[in-house]
Structure 1
Amino acid sequence: MSLPQQPATFSRSVRVLLVGMVLSSTGSGLTMSLLVIYLSSVRGIATIIASLVLSWVAIVSLALGPVGGSLIDRFGARTMLGFALAVEGVGVGLYALVSTTAGAFAVATVTAVGGAVIWSSQSTLLAQLSGEESRQRVFGVQFMLLNLGLGMGGLIAASIVDLSDPATFVRLYLVDAVSYLTFLVALPFIRVPQRTPEQVAAAEEAVGGYREVLSDRRLRRLVVAYLVLLTFGYGSLEAGVPLYLTRVAGMPVRDIGVVFAVNTGVIVIAQWWTIRFSEGRSRVSLLVAVGVLWGASWAVMGGSALLAGTVALVALCAGMAIFALAETVWSPVAPALVNHLAPDHLRGRYNAVSAWGYSVGGAIGPALAGALIGASLGGVWIAIVVIGSLAGALLSLSLRPLLTNAEDGRTADTAAVRGSGS
């Protein structure tokens, strides 16, 4: 199968948006996996409290997410993305000044305000800028570039960070803040399609229209499946892997960057082929595969605690590689399915409701990891995330009777697209 050349088909506005995402994700990669370590080991905040800071961000984002969805539908995705980037940039920069528990929660609240809008506005904007026929590919490429940025940032951080020198962490958070503001500068170069008077009227009438959104049985079932998958997948990754690596497997902090670099490498290498592979195949079956692969990845990473030195690091990297492969399946399929179900005048709300899965998972996952690993129950934590991932696979399977062939991605047109790349 030849390497697909999807980016050449993307509009200028889509390319500008993707470049902005790469810049901001590189900054995020500098700090993404270090917050719990930074707060606990550098600022002297208890590990369980540091983990709860991540959970607090998710809780606040969850509470504000519905408001963000309504504002996106009313004022536009680009406008709200600009607001979110500005707030998030300020919040991330303030982490450099944190020295107390109260300060950590205050700064986390600021970042949560931006986080409540940033993902749903990005997804909505990408969906608006791409047609149904290319949307799944756009989301896949977005994810690949996002992780390329995160991985580059992680490698840079691994070469700089020093637990004995708090200034190294401060510099990383300040550079991360600048990266958000750089993305903000690129937004005026994105041309958003003008809404027709009918679309504007529909958006105005839909203010407060979450009753219509939540009446969609397909979306309700989808959100439940996403919630479970994300709680025991992404939600457990950011805090769980660094804590398990350092506290249970007994490995040095610098190895965190190595493990997450493997994640990025697999995504960048495999994403092209999984984008093509997913075309014309059942989205439900692909989501089931994500849950199974995540469960397997946690089992492999859990085995690192029984090993030592380089062998333990290899086990962690192998588990992370499996996790990353599942991510490349998830990334084009999950948001494309949500946006296939969403009517234009409610697209912001549909993406906001979908983002609830990230928010709730981001609240439960770090708290669970911090509590269990902090209590020397790393093995119990591994068992829970394995079982939870498999439960998410079963819930995804229950979606099949609710979707048409087109919604499930099983259409003659998409199958033809897949075949043309062989």
Structure 2
Amino acid sequence: MGAPWQAFAAAALAGVGGAVASPAQDALLARLAPRTRASAFAVRYAITNAGVTAGGLGEGYREVAGDRLFRRIWVLTVLLVLAGYTPLISVFPVYVTESAGLGPHVVSIAFVADALTVALAQLAALRLLRGCRRTSVIIAACGWWATASCLTLATGRLGTGLTIAACVLAAVMVGIGETMLSPALLPMINDLAPEPLSGRYNAATSLAFTVGFTLGPALAGLMLQHGLGAHLITGSIVMSGLAAILAHRLALRLPASANRMTQAPPATPQVSAL
């Protein structure tokens, strides 16, 4: 593969395949397990992520695992997924519909608001963040996510109109955090990785995302089953704080060349919560 268009074409084909297979798989699973759908989908999600994990592993990762600085970034990545991505996917819909008493249409509107925020604000974020320290950008993203979680907690105490507005605004805040994290975290890892090992560093980073996306919904399902939705959102705020602290400590050890947003950030795959 020698031209950028080939990479984009391959990514588009992979996306089309996933778009066709995923709804069919979910519909089949729903029909096969009508009375235990929650458990069935939770197991399906865990198995899918286990497959992604197995596909990303290979030989020669000893040097990657021996990089102490990268291990800090790996842990930070897991915390960021738990703080920002998985709450929107696995906690927000249940909390909004059950604790705040809103209909599923509000969740749909919030998801659209998050997706539009990422789509419309990403290029503007790239321009605004040029020259900033990447760790500072990550800390700011944690702040947006913590604020979104605080706003979600308040939804049950507001009137219906304000509750809907607060839910949509919280989703927008999550999207803003996503647009800040995308050009900061993954390019930092690629700037830090030795050229011969860049593929393995990226695969290990994908594993960190997988771990976060697996642990988050599993923990959310367990706590929501016992009516601990508010505690779970509070935990997301704590995770945001821990991630911000770790990013601050990382800034003290990270080379300046890997911690500065460049004028033209390298192209990296964007991770979206949706």
The residue aligned with 1:262 is: 113
Once the two structures are TM-superposed, the CA of residue 282 in structure 1 deviates from its matched residue by 0.6
Instruction: Note if 1:58 corresponds to 2:49.
Output: yes
8 Å contact from structure 2 (residues 152, 170) kept in 1:
yes
Instruction: Note if 1:401 corresponds to 2:252.
Output: yes
Once the two structures are TM-superposed, the CA of residue 281 in structure 1 deviates from its matched residue by 1.3
8 Å contact from structure 1 (residues 301, 320) kept in 2:
no
- Letter of the 2:185 counterpart: A
TM-score, normalising length: structure 2: 0.82
Of 280, 298, 309, the match for 2:131:
280
The residue aligned with 1:47 is: 38
The residue aligned with 1:212 is: 63
For the residues of structure 2 that align with 1:22 and 1:297, how far apart are their CA atoms? 32
- Letter of the 1:338 counterpart: I
Report the 3-state secondary structure (helix = DSSP H, G, I; strand = E; otherwise coil) of the residue aligned with 1:406: helix
Residues 277 and 355 of structure 1, relative CA distance in 2, 3 Å threshold:
same
- Letter of the 2:166 counterpart: A
Residues 358 and 334 of structure 1, relative CA distance in 2, 3 Å threshold:
same
The residue aligned with 1:190 is: none
- Letter of the 2:125 counterpart: T
Of 245, 255, 260, the match for 2:96:
245
Residues 15 and 286 of structure 1, relative CA distance in 2, 3 Å threshold:
farther
Residues 30 and 236 of structure 1, relative CA distance in 2, 3 Å threshold:
farther
For the residues of structure 2 that align with 1:298 and 1:391, how far apart are their CA atoms? 15
Once the two structures are TM-superposed, the CA of residue 310 in structure 1 deviates from its matched residue by 3.4
Of 221, 238, 243, the match for 1:370:
221
The residue aligned with 1:318 is: 169
The residue aligned with 1:358 is: 209
8 Å contact from structure 2 (residues 88, 171) kept in 1:
no
The alignment yields a C-alpha RMSD, in angstroms, of 3.0
- Letter of the 1:220 counterpart: R
Once the two structures are TM-superposed, the CA of residue 353 in structure 1 deviates from its matched residue by 0.8
Of 14, 17, 35, the match for 2:4:
14
Q: Please identify the structure whose Cα radius of gyration is greater.
A: 1
Instruction: Note if 1:229 corresponds to 2:80.
Output: yes
* Mapping for residues 182-197 of structure 1, pairs under 5 Å: none
- Letter of the 1:256 counterpart: V
- Letter of the 1:374 counterpart: Q
Once the two structures are TM-superposed, the CA of residue 20 in structure 1 deviates from its matched residue by 5.8
**In the comparison of the two structures, how many residue pairs are matched?**
259
Once the two structures are TM-superposed, the CA of residue 397 in structure 1 deviates from its matched residue by 1.2
Residues 253 and 330 of structure 1, relative CA distance in 2, 3 Å threshold:
same
Ranked by relative contact order (alpha carbons within 8 Å, sequence separation 6 or more), the top structure is 2
- Letter of the 2:155 counterpart: S
- Letter of the 1:55 counterpart: A
8 Å contact from structure 2 (residues 78, 211) kept in 1:
yes
The residue aligned with 1:137 is: none
TM-score, normalising length: structure 1: 0.55
For the residues of structure 1 that align with 2:111 and 2:63, how far apart are their CA atoms? 40
Report the 3-state secondary structure (helix = DSSP H, G, I; strand = E; otherwise coil) of the residue aligned with 2:255: coil
Deviation string, structure 1 residues 338-388 (Cα, Å, up to 9, x no partner) = 111222322221011111221111111101221222222211111111111
Once the two structures are TM-superposed, the CA of residue 27 in structure 1 deviates from its matched residue by 6.5
Residues 404 and 238 of structure 1, relative CA distance in 2, 3 Å threshold:
same
